[in-house]
Structures are given as structure tokens and as C-alpha cells.
Amino acid sequence: MNTINDTNFNFPGQKNVYKGKVREVYNINDKYLVMIASDRLSAFDVIMPRQIPFKGQILNQIASNMLESTKDLVPNWLIDTPDPNVAVGHLAKPFKVEMVIRGYLSGHAWREYRDGKRTLCGVTMPDGMKENDKFPEPIITPSTKADDGLHDEDISREDIIAQGIVSEEDYTVLEDYTRKLFQRGTELAAKRDLILVDTKYEFGKTMEGEIVLIDEIHTPDSSRYFYADGYQDRQDRGEAQKQLSKEFVRQWLISNGFQGKEGQAIPEMSDEKINEISDRYIELYENITGDSFEKADTDHILERIEENVTSFLSGLQ
């Protein structure tokens, strides 16, 4: 089965290309961005050696669905999705922070809490909480946006402003947008009998100076979901929550001795494991959107993308 690992397109009007951990972003005439969702799998800020079939399509289609569902609250960069793996939108200069918001004590926050820390990114977490307990109010715990090969780092609101990473005026807008998006995401998840546990948002500023939501939102790569049914019973019994997120990949890696730390070898993923992860991503898609997943034709996947994007851009010029 063909997957997308690396792309090397030369679209009309192309100025440059930025290759992130999962997405590849083409600058068109310093006006538009073509964002291609690859099938690469990243965990602990490390790109795994093998790709996951249909992962890029799944992330791109969930993100476009969620951007459409939140554009009445927060302006976003998206114009259209001319291909299952591609989103095209307005160019915006990204802020160098990721706005992480947490409704529950899970994942990284729990690992810090378990180790005795009660402050995360300058935010105090209450004593006496168990893993996966709900916070009294969602907390915003930003991280720096690391360059390739480096790890994102926790950072406080105060340090972001003091270091001039984001102005106080702009950061206030980012916080407001983050809370509004998380509330909408929580409501959308509840309709699917899911709990939006935590997520991250990225923002940029357009050439006109407007702050807009960019990149993906509410996907299993950027968000953690629990099944609402049985959540409280599992908490009361001290059992693990049933999750819809990439956390199952992280846990498999941890159980095989890998957390992205220096000197650790990435465990080998068998064909069976790759297909299992692909099936889990499809399950995520169908649970999050409520739609059946339709696999795109992957016989000539790169040629398909090039043709669809080139045709779409010709209508924008």
C-alpha cells in the first residue's frame, strides 16, 4: 500500500517549502500555503521510520471538518481541501508557541504531577488529583514551537511575554481564542459521546495583521479524547480510561523502551503493528466525525496530489 513519506513538488508560483514532522507546507507567491499531510508518524518529537497508511488523509479531513465547525468563533487560514491529503489556505506568519489547553490531568501533565510537581507552565494544579481527573477549570499550558530535531518546551505566559515571543496584546487574543475553541471542541465531542481531554492550537498572523487559527485542530495527533460512556466508573475504580488519541502509540513505544530520550532505539514496527495503527486512526476518524471513512485511491498518490493542487491553484491565480 502506497504511503506519503516525503514530497518534492514544484507548484506554479512556489517560493519555498517547509517540512515539519508530519506536514509539508509549500509557499505559493507569498500569498497562499499548500499544506500536505504526509503519512509520517511522530511521537515524542521523533519521526518513526515507517509510515501509517491513510494517516495523512485522516488528519487532513478531520482538521478541515473541525475548522469548518469553528470558523464562526475564530477566523482560520483555510480556503479549501482540493485533495484528501491537502489543505490550501492563506499565508500567515506562525506564532512561535503552541497553545496547549487541558481539561483533565492526563499525559504530560499527569507525568509531571506524578513526579511531585504542582505547577505547570506557571499554572498551579490542585493537590489530591488522580490521573485523568477533571480540572476545576481548563488550564492553558503553552509550549515553545521547536525547530526540527528539537523538543518543544513548556513555557509560562509570563515568560512568553517577557521574552518577547508574543506581545501581551496578541497573547491575550490567543488565550481567548484557545478557550473558545476548546469549549466548542468539548461540545462537538460530547455529541459523539466523547470527552475532549486536552488539545493544542497554533495561530498565525496574516499579512493584513489578523490573528488566525492555522494547521490542524481536534485531530488524534493534536488532541486526546476519552469515551464518555463509563468514564466516571473507570475513575472510581482506578482503571485506565478508554482513549481515542495517539496515546496508544506512545504507550506502545514506552512499553518497548522508547520515550525519545538520547541513546534509546526506536522499536521496530511489524506490518501487523502498522496495520493495527492504521485501523485505530480510521476508528478515530469515524468516532470523531460520525462519518464512515472512505479510503482515497493510493495507486499514484503523489501524481494525484500534484494534479489536484495544480488545478486548484490555477483558479486562484
**pLDDT averaged over the chain?**
94
pLDDT in tens, 202-243: 999 999 999 999 988 998 888 999 999 999 999 999 999 988
- At 284, the pLDDT band (50, 70, 90 cuts) reads confident
* Overall average pLDDT of the 147-167 stretch: 86
pLDDT in tens, 8-54: 999 999 999 999 889 999 999 999 999 999 999 998 888 999 999 99
| Helices 271-289, 247-255: crossing angle, 10 deg rounding | 150
pLDDT in tens, 168-212: 999 999 999 999 999 999 999 999 999 999 999 999 999 999 999
Sheet holding 14-19, edge to edge: 14-19, 23-28, 32-37, 86-90, 78-83
* Overall average pLDDT of the 279-308 stretch: 94
Nearest Cα residue to 200 out of 241, 257, 246, 252: 246
Residue 248 pLDDT exceeds 70: yes
User: What is the distance between the alpha carbons of residues 112 and 2, in angstroms, rounded to a whole number?
Assistant: 39
- At 252, the pLDDT band (50, 70, 90 cuts) reads very high
